[in-house]
């Protein structure tokens, strides 16, 4: 009962998360419109108007705050267009005291992604500037590094799945273990996909479906790494919507995949229940051939 509640809760969180991503994606092209050309370094009233149009929440920010925040960002090496993108994506930043913004920058700098890549990351996901606990950030980044290998890989990983920062080590560990040991997928492929921002249940469901269709065979351990595998790539499995996954990757109809999801969830549930219960009740099961 509790477990079901938990799963429902997780799904809701996931839906909210996706909606956010969706809004962001919609905004992205508009942000470029709002952004001033590179050489034009001054913040003008027209920029602010455009930004307010894109994100009405910004209308509450007084002129003085705009200027103050703008200067802080400029001092840290960001240009006007990047600043505007961050402001549109995360209006709360403008209202923060100067020191807090600087701290956030310093914390991120300590991850050593390099100035250019860091700005790319922060403008893509302005929410990342909300960090306040530097220690926790460093701990988490160094944890990500344990399986990603290099700083650059950690950066790539965050570019694809920024919500890794909010997931517990335990949950990430579970997913990496599943991807590496059951699906036998190598780290470079994991990094290129959004797999780690999906819940383990979804990854497993899609993987098992492909396996039962006969479309996914785990690579043999001794296989030549240069030999391309016939399996669909991980990004095709995890970065797709239900419909695209069913029709373009699995080549089945959507209702077949939906039926499978329902049946598979029940199958897992039953396996768990069976493991909990004693085998003594086996005889009382109502189902027969």
Partner 1 sequence: MLRVNSLVYLQMRLKSQRWAFKGKKTNTQRALESFDDFYGSVFGIRWKNIRAALLTEHKYIAVVNNFGDADKTCNGMELNGALNIKSLIKVVEDRLGRNNKLSINGSNNTLDENLFKVLCRQEEREKQSLYPMSSMAETSVQLQYSAGNTTEFKSNSENGENQKFIESLEMAIENNTQLANSRLIDPQYGTGGLYEFMPANKIKGMEDWIPESDHYKYYSTHTDFPLKFELETEFYYPDNLKLYTYEIGNCSEFITPQKCLTGALSHYLLDGASVLPPLFLDIKEGDRVLDACAAPGGKSLIMLQTLFPDTLVCNDIQESRLNRIRKVMQEYIFDYKEKWENKRILFNQCDAKYMDNYESFDKILVDVPCTTDRHSVTVNDNNIFKSTRIKERLRIPELQADILANCLRLLKPGGSLIYSTCSLSPVQNDGVVHMALQKAFNENGITATVKDLSYIIMFFEDIFKFENNKVLKYGQMVLPYLPANYGPMYFCKLMRNM
Least distance (Å) between residue 239 CB and partner 1: 22
Least distance (Å) between residue 214 CB and partner 1: 5
Nearer to partner 1, 139 or 212 (CB): 212
Nearer to partner 1, 61 or 250 (CB): 250
Least distance (Å) between residue 234 CB and partner 1: 20
Query: Tokens representing 27?
Result: 């905004």
**Integer angstrom CA distances of residue 146 from 129, 142, 169, 241:** 23, 6, 11, 30
Instruction: Tell me 78's DSSP state.
Output: -
Place of tokens 């990496």: 176
Nearer to partner 1, 3 or 285 (CB): 285
Least distance (Å) between residue 289 CB and partner 1: 5
Alpha-carbon distance of 184 to 74, in angstroms, equals 45
Query: Tokens representing 118?
Result: 């860091």
Alpha-carbon distance of 216 to 232, in angstroms, equals 7
Burial of 140 (0-12, 13-18, 19+ CB in 10 A): buried
Binding residues for partner 1, per CB under 8 A? 209, 212-215, 220-222, 251-252, 255-260, 262-264, 266-267, 285-289
C-beta separation of 90 from 127 below 8 A: yes
C-beta separation of 81 from 36 below 8 A: yes
Nearer to partner 1, 220 or 228 (CB): 220
DSSP per-residue string spanning 195-239 = GGGS-HHHHHHHHHHHHHHT---PPPTTS-TTSPPSSPPHHHHHS
Alpha-carbon distance of 237 to 257, in angstroms, equals 13
Least distance (Å) between residue 276 CB and partner 1: 17
Nearer to partner 1, 187 or 213 (CB): 213
Nearer to partner 1, 148 or 246 (CB): 246
Nearer to partner 1, 166 or 258 (CB): 258
Least distance (Å) between residue 125 CB and partner 1: 37
Least distance (Å) between residue 202 CB and partner 1: 17
Long-range contacts of 52-57 (CB under 8 A, 24+ apart): 54/27, 54/30, 54/88, 55/27, 55/87, 55/88, 55/89, 55/91, 57/91
């Amino acid at each position: 009962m509790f477990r079901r509640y938990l799963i429902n809760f997780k799904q809701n969180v996931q839906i909210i998360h996706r909606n956010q991503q969706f809004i962001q994606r919609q905004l992205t092209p508009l942000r470029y419109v709002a952004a001033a050309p590179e050489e034009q370094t001054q913040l003008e009233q027209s920029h602010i108007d455009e930004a307010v149009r894109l994100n009405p929440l910004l209308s509450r920010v007084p002129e003085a705050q705009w200027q103050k925040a703008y200067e802080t960002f400029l001092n840290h090496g960001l240009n006007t267009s990047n600043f505007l993108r961050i402001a549109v994506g995360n209006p709360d930043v403008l209202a923060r005291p100067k020191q807090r913004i600087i701290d956030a920058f310093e914390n991120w700098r300590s991850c050593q992604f390099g100035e250019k890549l860091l700005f790319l990351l922060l403008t893509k996901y302005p929410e990342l500037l909300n960090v306040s606990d530097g220690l926790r950030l460093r701990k988490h980044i160094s944890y990500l590094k344990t399986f990603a290998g290099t700083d650059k890989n950690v950066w790539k990983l965050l570019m694809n799945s920024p919500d890794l920062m909010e997931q517990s080590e335990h949950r990430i560990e579970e997913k990496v273990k599943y991807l590496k040991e059951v699906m036998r997928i190598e780290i470079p492929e994991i990094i290129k996909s959004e797999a780690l921002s999906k819940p383990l249940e979804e990854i497993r469901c899609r993987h098992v479906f492909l396996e039962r269709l006969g479309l996914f065979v785990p690579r043999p351990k001794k296989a030549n790494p240069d030999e391309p595998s016939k399996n669909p790539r991980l990004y095709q499995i995890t970065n797709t919507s239900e419909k695209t996954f069913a029709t373009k990757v699995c080549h089945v109809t959507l209702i077949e995949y939906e039926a499978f999801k329902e049946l598979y969830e029940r199958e897992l549930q039953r396996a768990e229940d069976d493991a909990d219960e004693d085998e003594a009740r086996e005889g009382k099961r109502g189902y027969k051939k």
